[in-house]
Structure 1
Amino acid sequence: MVLAASRRVLARVLVAAAAAAVVSCGNDDPGPAFVVGAGDAVESRVLAEIYAGALARTGLRVAVQPELGQRADYLAALDAGRVALVGEHTGELLAFYDSGSAARTPSAVIQDLNRSLPEGLVVSDPADGTDLRPRVLVTAEAARRDDLDSVAELAPRCGELRAGLAPAPDLLRVPGATPVTGCDFAGATPLPDATALRNALLDNSVQAGVVGGPSALTASATEGLTVLTDGEYALRAQNVIPVFRKGLLDDQRLEKLNYVAGELTTDELVEMIRRVRDGATAGEVARGWLDTHGL
């Protein structure tokens, strides 16, 4: 009897877990759910929950499929129809589908991205308020000495400098070295994280640093360093954007995705990533964000 009771409890737990994976908003349609995929990064899961939650509030039956691996893995799942939508960055998505594109500004990146997408995949509006480009850093001393405020001002010196390259935690990853247009460094040293990059800059083993996302995600490690501005897009634009299978969403639901794009900002996304890093669930922080913005 104890074994049978345990089995019943386990069955109830499994049923509840399966139900929790499907986000619904009063839709009794028994058909298959619209599956939003997420890679392994915290950012990817947060974006998946935002898009899934927004679409669920239109009455669409939605499920989130997490832990699909890296970019090549979840885009393969999208291409094969195992998922219907994933969140991405415009520039990185363009590089994946068209490595030869020279587009750098937000509008040029979107133009080339729309041309390069495989048949059957489309994007909606990018979140213009998000800027997930890597940041170029130098020490405060070097910035004062060489009068550096921007990547453009650094460019003439790049050939004399060794750069340290570090990922930003919990973001969609950029494969390989980050190109900085007009800035050909004398060499590059991959580093495991922003703390190691800070140490390398301070001991002058590297003279410039490239961290793979907003410096707000690495604020404690990069405190006291100077973040160079990049108004000319030496680093390719990286705005959040959903990519999805064509023909699965009607105008009402496409409009909902565009509403999300109009509200999401870099600071809000960074804060949601931090909250998940600190123990909140991605679904919880996404619901809070959607409620705050009336979505």
Structure 2
Amino acid sequence: MSIARLAAPLLALLLVVTGCSGQHGDHAAPPGPELVVGSKADPESRLLASLYVSALRSYGFPARAETADDPMAKLDSGEFTVVPAFTGQVLHSLQPDDSALSDKQVYKAMNAALPEGIASGDYTTAAEDKPALVVTPATGQAWGGQDLSADLTLVQRHCDGLTVGIVKGGHAPAAVGSCKMPRPREFPNDTALFAALRSNELTAAWTTTANPGIPGDLVVLADASKNALIRAENVVPLYRRNALTTRQLLAINEVAGVLDTEALTDLWRKVAGGADPQAVADGWLGEHPLGR
């Protein structure tokens, strides 16, 4: 048999093998084991986990979300790989007496307090959900300002006789600057809380900066991070040290560059309305692709 006649079938076989290999590559299994992003079971926590799942998937990494009563314990044991959290809450759980307030100070102190096997990614400098005081426009005008950090005596000047409220289960700082805050009256929901504020039963109401239930006719007192009087609460991904590749870490860190408080509020509003957290996260990251 001639060399040319032998070469023809060998070439055909090579093309078949190459074609099969190419098709397998098109449908190859995703790289590495599936990463587990953990959170508590409430809708807001599930949304944050879904954002980081979407981020990892957008880079081609398999990931899924799971819930637990104590996500940090699961992260510490290695059952979870990534757990989104808020910087101030993590710091308070690890160092309750730490006095850091601004976003940079809180992030630095939190990193110093993390257990040896856990590290933190980039925090969202533009996305926060920290305690905030809400007042009526009339109160804001009477107080002569709406920015706590610009006028460090704003609350102090009106500290005596303050009556404040909060939704049951919420967190209220014990002090704002030098003003020791009174124990807040508890209300069953935002509707009841803000109705009491409007009817002047309360001077101010405690809420959080990303709460989608804050009515537009009320005033949220600002508290800039540089001279913050209330501890920062920025979104941050915690992860198992040495468990992520460089590109996986890049994927979760890039969330910090696209997420802001306005977007976080809108996403939580959709989830509160019954939307699936993963679908909401996927849709939002589809409109705000990472790595651009």
**1:187-238 CA-partner distances (Å, limit 9, x unpaired):** 32122222222222233332221113435x113xx34322211123111111
Question: CA 1:166–1:157 in structure 2 vs 1: closer, same or farther (change >3 Å)?
Answer: same
Confirm whether residue 275 of structure 1 aligns to residue 276 of structure 2.
no
Question: CA 1:191–1:125 in structure 2 vs 1: closer, same or farther (change >3 Å)?
Answer: same
The structure with the largest alpha-carbon Rg is 2
Counterpart of 2:84 in 1: which secondary structure? strand
Q: 1:93 matched to which residue of 2?
A: 90
Hey, which bits of structure 1, 4+ residues long, moved more than 6 A? none
CA–CA distance in structure 2, aligned partners of residues 258 and 236 of structure 1: 22
Aligned mate of 1:200, from 192, 196, 216: 196
Q: Report the Cα offset of residue 29 of structure 1.
A: 6.2
Confirm whether residue 229 of structure 1 aligns to residue 222 of structure 2.
yes
Matched-pair contact (CA < 8 Å) for 1:55–1:257: yes
Q: Report the Cα offset of residue 262 of structure 1.
A: 0.6
Matched-pair contact (CA < 8 Å) for 1:133–1:237: yes
Measured on the aligned residues, the alpha-carbon RMSD in Å equals: 2.3
* TM superposition score normalised by structure 2: 0.80
Counterpart of 1:242 in 2: which secondary structure? strand
**1:118-148 CA-partner distances (Å, limit 9, x unpaired):** 1101101001110211221122222222323
Q: Report the Cα offset of residue 56 of structure 1.
A: 2.4
Share of identical aligned residues, percent? Answer: 31
**1:164-192 CA-partner distances (Å, limit 9, x unpaired):** 1236xxxxx76x43344322124321222
Unaligned runs of 5+ in 2: 1-25
Q: 1:13 matched to which residue of 2?
A: none
Question: CA 1:30–1:147 in structure 2 vs 1: closer, same or farther (change >3 Å)?
Answer: closer
Return the letter of the residue paired with 1:128.
T
* TM superposition score normalised by structure 1: 0.80
Aligned mate of 2:71, from 69, 74, 88: 74
Return the letter of the residue paired with 2:121.
S
Question: CA 1:27–1:266 in structure 2 vs 1: closer, same or farther (change >3 Å)?
Answer: farther
Q: 1:293 matched to which residue of 2?
A: 288
Matched-pair contact (CA < 8 Å) for 1:135–1:214: no
Q: Report the Cα offset of residue 149 of structure 1.
A: 1.6
Confirm whether residue 113 of structure 1 aligns to residue 110 of structure 2.
yes
**1:24-82 CA-partner distances (Å, limit 9, x unpaired):** x966269752111121222211111111122123333322113x23xxx1212212222
CA–CA distance in structure 2, aligned partners of residues 287 and 186 of structure 1: 42
Matched-pair contact (CA < 8 Å) for 1:159–1:185: no
CA–CA distance in structure 2, aligned partners of residues 155 and 177 of structure 1: 16
Q: How many residues align?
A: 258
Question: CA 1:78–1:194 in structure 2 vs 1: closer, same or farther (change >3 Å)?
Answer: same
CA–CA distance in structure 1, aligned partners of residues 271 and 198 of structure 2: 31
CA–CA distance in structure 2, aligned partners of residues 280 and 204 of structure 1: 35
Q: Report the Cα offset of residue 109 of structure 1.
A: 0.6
**1:237-295 CA-partner distances (Å, limit 9, x unpaired):** 11111011111111111112221111111111222222222232111111112222223
Note the 1:45-64 alignment, pairs <5 A.
45-64=46-65
Return the letter of the residue paired with 1:226.
V
Matched-pair contact (CA < 8 Å) for 2:210–2:264: no
